[in-house]
Chains A and B, each alone.
Chain A
């Protein structure tokens, strides 16, 4: 059953809010189960891209199907502690 806890889906969101989240400071060995579980709680995920090169390792793009879910995730996961690292979550411009 979906966790649609009283989501307000009509308000106008600021222009910088976006369905694509750029996530930094991810643990290098995070698995797809963990990342889908962590971000999937906030809504259906359209796609996830993770960095696989030294300069992109530890960052990922998480694309949500719905912009309100992306906002929920960004608000809640900002500074979230994953395996000892604090996540940085930004709207991708």
Chain B
């Protein structure tokens, strides 16, 4: 039972909480929409 497996069974760490998916509404609440536009990704954009 290697520690690697143990590590993955732990409850989510504080870092996971900071990495949770944010919906558009949550982003709208966080970021100013006045004076800013949401830029559409170019067709060539491939997220890595």
- Checking A13, A19, A45, A49 against B47 with a beta-carbon cut-off of 8 angstroms, the contacting residue is A45
Tell me if B45 counts as interface (CB < 8 A to partner A).
Answer: yes
Asked if residues A56 and B19 are in contact (CB atoms below 8 Å), the reply is no
Interface members, chain B 1-48 (any A CB < 8 Å): 7, 13-15, 18-19, 21-22, 24, 27, 30-33, 35-42, 44-45, 47-48
Q: Which of A24-42 contact B (CB under 8 A)?
A: 31-33, 35-37, 40-41
- Distance in angstroms from B12 CB to nearest chain A CB is 12
How far does the alpha carbon of A29 sit from the alpha carbon of B4 in the complex, in Å?
A: 48
CA–CA, A5 and B18, complex, Å: 22
Known contacts being A40-B48, A43-B48, A44-B48, is A49 close to B39, with CB within 8 Å? yes
Contacts of B13 in A (CB 8 A): 10, 12
Footprint of B on A, CB under 8 Å?
A: 2-3, 10, 12-13, 19-20, 31-33, 35-37, 40-41, 43-53, 55-56, 60-61, 63, 65-67, 92
> What would be 8 A-B contacts, judged by CB atoms less than 8 Å apart?
A12-B14, A12-B15, A36-B39, A43-B47, A46-B22, A50-B36, A60-B36, A63-B27
B interface with A by C-beta (< 8 Å): 7, 13-15, 18-19, 21-22, 24, 27, 30-33, 35-42, 44-45, 47-48
